[in-house]
A and B are shown apart, each in its own frame.
Chain A
Amino acid sequence: MSASTVAFSDAQLAEVRRLQALYPDARAALLPVLHMAQETFGHISLEAEEYVAGLFDVTPAHVHEVVTFYTLFFRQPKGRHVVAVCHNLSCHLAGAPEIIAHVMRRLGIGVGATTDDGRVTLQAVECLCACEHAPMMQVDDRYEFGLTPEKVDQILEGLR
């Protein structure tokens, strides 16, 4: 991605300034601005991190800290859908390893990868705060509970 493709519009820049003004420390607006960057550029490339750093007067290293800390920031282009299976304690005990293995088999990709047709990106993530429904996963912005291989197949079928 060339540098020129990583730039917000004037309206977005105004929004950045508005967000920054909301907090006593302007850096607190880093998260919403990174979300804007992800929506605008598809994913957050290193160039995008440097660009955002420039908007905040922080070093690129500190933006990289934030982007790598959160699993919902994508540093590579992601698929049209994101399947994030929880593999934290409760889900693990309730069978998350089998669920993840099943999804991998079905999609033919490993964790962290995207299908060749750009349809699905698979993630294994830490606790999503739904232990009572373990094993669970997040598909785009909805939660799917009480997973079984059959239920997973059904869900994956629905992703186009």
Chain B
Amino acid sequence: MPKLTINGQAVEVPAGTNLIEAARKVGVEVPHYCYHPALSIAGQCRLCMVDIEKTPRPTIACNTPASDGMVVWTETDRVKETRKSIMEFHLINHPLDCPVCDQAGECWLQIYYMRYGLYDPRMRDEKVHKPKAVPLGPHVMLDAERCILCSRCVRFCDEVTGTGELGIFHRGDDSEIGLFPGKELVNKYSGNVVDICPVGALTDRDFRFAVRVWYLDSTASICPGCARGCNIEVHVNRRRPHHNEGRRVARLKPRFNADVNRWWICDDGRYGFTFVDDKTRLVAPSSREDGAVSDATWEEAIAAIVGALGRFAPAEIGVFASPKMANEDLWALRRVLEQCGIRRVAFRVPPPVPGDEDTLLIRSDKNPNSRGAELLGLDGDGAAILRAACVRQVKCLWVFGHDLLASAWDPAETDAALRALSLLIFIGTNSNATSERAQWVLPAAAWVEREGTYTNFEGRVQRFRQAVEPLGQALPEWDILGRVLQALGAEVGAPRAERWFRELTSGVPAFGGMSYQAIGDTGAVLNAPSAGQPRSEPASRTPLR
């Protein structure tokens, strides 16, 4: 392991570490554009110049491996002068777009110019003009004038997705990022090029002119889009709600987690949050009688559920838990089931078309918490529950979130099962064909409106936090179920997600010893035996007590 000094600080790094990463280790930031730790070295932007003793000229740090005895200085007058010239060079043809550029406020041209810029520009020539506002695909917009030709986006498509759609065409000051004429940027990870573009050349069409980034607040969360559980930030526009037609969640951004998603998320996850502010959101408890829907209070709704749980024999009640519910919700549900002696429970509802999967991130299981639901012992036979409903063995069905009518199961049979029921209770965030058939519909808070944990397919338990208030009267499922338990006469502690999690950790050995604090921002892996392994065989199921 080479030992070197950077700005007088000694540091030892693994062989092959480049000087940008070595400097990072001692808290020194070497400014750069084209270097990205996930991509190959391009050495294109020339901004990461540093001085190395016994080397005649400043050298690019990204392409220089640390070596033993190296003495590196990142802030010499010569380096500063070089940076200033390079910034000047990058801006020769850059348009004065900041006032209308979505990147403003998180743009590395702005940031580095403020730090190292020339402030007194010498360019008087007409700038070279290039295409602006060119949609590259469904998600990405290109402004070729703003591009500094760092080639990060090109390398991303070559090296990470392997799709190679982007190229740098022509040369000299005519060089221009683009697609092969007539093609589109449609790979499943296209949104990531917006994240890694250091400037405003690639921007998000979904975020275009939506809100200035400095009005956004950020909350650490987990993508609920599939079993991978990519780490994300939820960016919320609380301070200028009128800027985005009341859409509360402005965008989702990937959050680095070396063990889960590294720097990336897929497009389905990135743009999959629209249900949160959709018109189909359920905002108040309601009951339906003879086709007439009327709003109800939470007290009435809880009383109705508790009444049903008493009226039907436990064997006459079937429950569809959801793998989109958090561990906390599922634990609260399990306690209700145990309290009532209900054993007919399932959580898997096969989707009409099998989910897509790839080797990068995307999992075919489009639920964030199937592993948690398995570990909590809720993995029963859903089809059998519906069959039992058809023959009136099950008379009351309690569905969390699922649309049973939009599954791989025969819609006619499902329809017959639902028709045969005496009572259908639905709890979920949004209405669907199944909720339309329910006598009681209770609004659940969406994942950005509450906190909780999901267990990903590899057995990593990860926390998501509350970014916005629940819409209307919606409540987290653990809260609804806690109220039910209380009405059933059970002991229930303070209404906090964390308390339910603590209870879960003492009830399910795989979670033993975990805490919100230990999970932190990067997650914690379940206890052995199944810990940290991709599941190849069915996970051990904890039976209902």
Contact = CB atoms under 8 A, between A and B. Distances in A.
Interface of A: 46, 49-50, 58-62, 64-65, 68-69, 126
A58 B181 contact: no
Given A46-B180, A46-B181, A61 B166 contact: yes
Interface of B: 163-172, 178-183
Contacts of B169: 64-65, 68-69
Contact of B179 (A50, A61, A68): A61
Residue among B179, B180, B182 with the highest chain A CB neighbour number at 10 A: B180
A61 B172 contact: no
Contact of A46 (B167, B178, B182): B182
Nearest to B165: A61
B167 to A, nearest CB: 4
Contacts of B171: 68-69
Given A58-B164, A61-B165, A61-B180, A126 B170 contact: no
A15 B527 CA distance: 60
A153 B163 CA distance: 50
B131 to A, nearest CB: 14
B182 A61 contact: no
Contacts of A62: 164, 167
Please list the 7 inter-chain residue pairs (A to B) with the smallest Cβ-Cβ separation, ordered nearest first: A59-B164, A61-B167, A65-B167, A60-B180, A68-B169, A61-B180, A68-B170
Contacts, number: 37
A49 B164 contact: no
21 contacts: A46-B181, A49-B180, A59-B163, A59-B165, A59-B167, A60-B180, A60-B183, A61-B164, A61-B165, A61-B178, A61-B183, A64-B169, A64-B180, A65-B167, A65-B168, A65-B169, A68-B169, A68-B170, A68-B171, A69-B169, A126-B172
Contacts of A60: 180, 183
- Grouping DSSP codes into helix (H, G, I), strand (E, B) and loop, the A interface class, with mixed when no group exceeds half, is helix
Contact of B180 (A59, A69, A126): A59
B164 A64 contact: no
Nearest to A67: B169
Contacts of B180: 46, 49-50, 59-61, 64
Contacts of A64: 167, 169, 180-181
Contacts of B165: 59, 61
Contacts of A61: 164-167, 178-180, 183
Contacts of B178: 61
B379 to A, nearest CB: 43
A8 B390 CA distance: 66
Given A61-B180, A62-B164, 15 more contacts: A46-B181, A59-B163, A59-B167, A60-B180, A60-B183, A61-B164, A61-B165, A61-B167, A61-B178, A65-B167, A65-B168, A68-B169, A68-B171, A69-B169, A126-B172
Contacts of A68: 169-171
A58 B164 CA distance: 8
A71 B459 CA distance: 56
A143 to B, nearest CB: 22
Nearest to A75: B181
A52 to B, nearest CB: 12
Contacts of A69: 169-171
B140 to A, nearest CB: 14
Contacts of B182: 46
A49 B179 CA distance: 13
A61 B136 CA distance: 13
B128 to A, nearest CB: 15
A50 B181 CA distance: 11
A68 B182 CA distance: 16
Contacts of B166: 61
A137 B168 CA distance: 28
A50 B164 CA distance: 13
Nearest to A50: B180
Residue among B172, B182, B183 with the highest chain A CB neighbour number at 10 A: B183
Contacts of A59: 163-165, 167, 180
A134 B180 CA distance: 37
Residue among A49, A50, A58, A69 with the highest chain B CB neighbour number at 10 A: A69
B287 to A, nearest CB: 57
B171 to A, nearest CB: 5
A74 to B, nearest CB: 14
Contacts of A126: 172
A58 B172 CA distance: 23
A109 B166 CA distance: 33
B180 to A, nearest CB: 4
A46 B182 CA distance: 10
Contacts of B167: 59, 61-62, 64-65
B166 to A, nearest CB: 6
A46 B183 CA distance: 11
A126 B170 CA distance: 13
A65 B167 CA distance: 6
Nearest to A58: B164
B298 to A, nearest CB: 56
Nearest to A62: B167
A68 B180 CA distance: 11
B396 to A, nearest CB: 57
Nearest to B166: A61
A39 to B, nearest CB: 23
A99 to B, nearest CB: 21
A62 B167 CA distance: 6
B147 to A, nearest CB: 14
Contacts of A46: 180-182
A111 to B, nearest CB: 13
A87 to B, nearest CB: 12
A102 to B, nearest CB: 24
Contacts of B164: 58-59, 61-62
A73 to B, nearest CB: 12
A58 B158 CA distance: 10
